[in-house]
Amino acid sequence: MQCILMNKNIEVLTIEYDTATSVFTRIYEVKNINYAPYILNSFYIEDDINDTPFRTNLSEWFKGRGIPSWRDKLDLLLHRLNITAPYELLDKAFGLSLSDQYWLKPVGSNISYDDINFFDNDFDYAEFMEASLSTNSKIITKESSLKTPNNTTDGMLKKAWIIEDGTRYLLKGGYKNEVLQPFNEVLASEICKRLGFDHVEYTIDIYKDMVVSKCPCFITKDTEFITCYQIRNDMKRYNNVEDYEEYIKKLEENNIKNAREKVENMYILDYLIMNEDRHLNNFGVIRDVNTLKWIDVAPIFDNGQSLNIEYYDEDEVHISGSGRLFYEEKPFDEIIKVVKNLKRIDISKLDGVVEWFDDLLHKYQYLTKMSDNRINRLCILLNRQIDKLRELILKNS
Ligand SMILES: Nc1ncnc2c1ncn2[C@@H]1O[C@H](COP(=O)(O)OP(=O)(O)O)[C@@H](O)[C@H]1O
Ligand SMILES: [Mg+2]
């Protein structure tokens, strides 16, 4: 299929797309290369573009928009959607997403972005939501159920975009039978709110007796989310703390205000809740798709893989996990050292947050069946991290 890669209303490339393999087999014309997905910047060479890594990386990028092979219970989802691989979904809704504005426009068609984008146009999410989140679901029956932004979501957790009162929300379940993740998301929001960190607001929602987290879309029709993974592609790599410094430099070069402070905030949160999942697709920046200006660091999101207790006994809580700092896995006590200014944190704002979390976990115990003992240990752990941060702040002042 000959088509045009679009970024909202701007034509980026004219290309041949092979629907059977979801590969771009030929690039016919480069129209506005600046509007191409950010990750492709470093692959672009003006000479014969077809013989460079640009074309293969374009295919990789597009395939990467699909549901990943490591999605929890992917086999069940594919069965329920009646397809054999996630990439089959990619061209069902022009490859549109709710995290950016790229899409494929068939050559010769007069489809307009306004008519098809999922920010303005409602989509039929009920069947996909059931196929994705329910333990028991039938095979979908409506073709319209495959024309949704759910075709282009990343991440390991079962999830679904839904619409409520015109707002687009992402629902996320727990990994396998774990029930803690949605609560960690809500805890992270509460901590961020109290400390004044820019964040995505997660709440608890119940879907068929299952606790899920729910957050609004942080992208608009005029913006796109660019992950740190994409940005680091044209950065020098050190495999040590210099990667972090380079990233901040890059944000500052692109005129993001208080970049260091905002990135520090994310690592402070990760320290408090011991988040093990801060890989490079779980943070990044928001860019204006019209002007290509970097607007801001993306609000903090995806904090579910936290407070992981290996096991606990009478008098100890055992932790084995570690945090992530770019290409390294490190103890949380090491990562927090990248934060230059801890004095600005008013830790008293977290007074009562442990009790608040305790209440929250108890409130949904009738659904989660989480034991009193486990709730108690989770609260001990959270309390311990808050105390440790308080001590670090004192030492720093
Ligand atoms: N609120 C949101 N608005 C827009 N895009 C989002 C939002 N939340 C997540 N995303 C996008 O979806 C991807 C997967 O979501 P994430 O919360 O990271 O799920 P997982 O826990 O499975 O990794 C993110 O990497 C991001 O690109
Ligand atoms: Mg994620």
Q: What integer is the mean pLDDT of 271-300?
A: 98
Sign of the dihedral through C-alpha 194, 195, 201, 202: negative
Asked if residue 287 has pLDDT above 90, the reply is yes
The percent of residues in the chain predicted with pLDDT above 90, rounded, is: 90
* 3-state SS class at 2: strand
Q: What is the mean pLDDT of residues 237-249?
A: 95
What is residue 352's predicted lDDT score, i.e. its pLDDT?
98
pLDDT at 397 over 80: no
Tell me whether strands 284-288 and 294-297 are parallel, antiparallel or unpaired: antiparallel
Q: How far is the CA of 155 from the centre of ligand 2 (A)?
A: 5
* pLDDT tens-place string over residues 26-63: 999 999 999 999 999 889 888 778 888 999 999 999 99
Average pLDDT over residues 281-305: 98
As annotated, the residues of the chain forming the CATH 1.10.1070.20 domain(s) are: 223-396
Report pTM: 0.96
The per-residue pLDDT for range 338-358, each reduced to its tens digit, is 999 999 999 999 999 999 999
Q: Once rounded to an integer, what is the mean pLDDT over residues 114-123?
A: 98
Closest ligand 1 atom, CA of 225? 27
Residue 313 pLDDT exceeds 80:
no
Ligand 2 centroid–CA 282 distance in Å is 5
Q: What's the burial of 156, exposed, middle or buried (CB within 10 Å: 0-12/13-18/19+)? A: middle
Is the Cβ atom of 153 under 6 angstroms away from ligand 1?
yes
- pLDDT, tens digit, 9 for 90 and up, residues 135-185: 888 899 999 999 999 999 999 999 999 999 999 999 999 988 899 999 999
Return the pLDDT at 234.
86
Q: Which ligand has its closest atom nearest to the C-alpha of 215?
A: 1
Average pLDDT over residues 104-108: 97
Q: Is 281 in the pocket of ligand 1 (CB under 6 A)?
A: yes
Q: How much is the mean pLDDT over the chain?
A: 95
CA distance 229 to 294: 16
Q: Is any ligand 1 atom within 6 A of the Cβ of residue 248?
A: no
Confirm or reject: Cβ of 212 under 6 Å from ligand 1: no
Residue with tokens 């944190």: 345
pLDDT at 177: 85
Q: Which CATH class is domain 223-396?
A: mainly alpha
Q: Span 20-28, mean pLDDT?
A: 94
- Res. 333 pLDDT band, cuts 50 70 90: very high
- Which chain residues have CB less than 5 Å from ligand 2, an ion? 155, 282, 302
- Written as six digits, the tokens of 119 are 């920010």
Mutate to test the pocket of ligand 1, among 154, 275, 278, 303 (most ligand atoms within 8 A of CB): 154
- pLDDT score of 297 more than 80: yes
Q: How far is the CA of 393 from the centre of ligand 2 (A)?
A: 29
User: 24-38, 255-269, 316-330: lowest mean pLDDT where?
Assistant: 316-330
Closest ligand to C-alpha of residue 279 is 2
Tokens representing 200?
A: 């995505």
Q: Specify the pLDDT at position 136.
A: 85
**Phi, psi of 215, rounded to the nearest 5 degrees:** -140, 150
pLDDT of residue 101: 98
Mean pLDDT check: name the lowest of 135-144, 178-187, 218-227, 292-301.
135-144
> Does 248 score more than 80 pLDDT?
yes
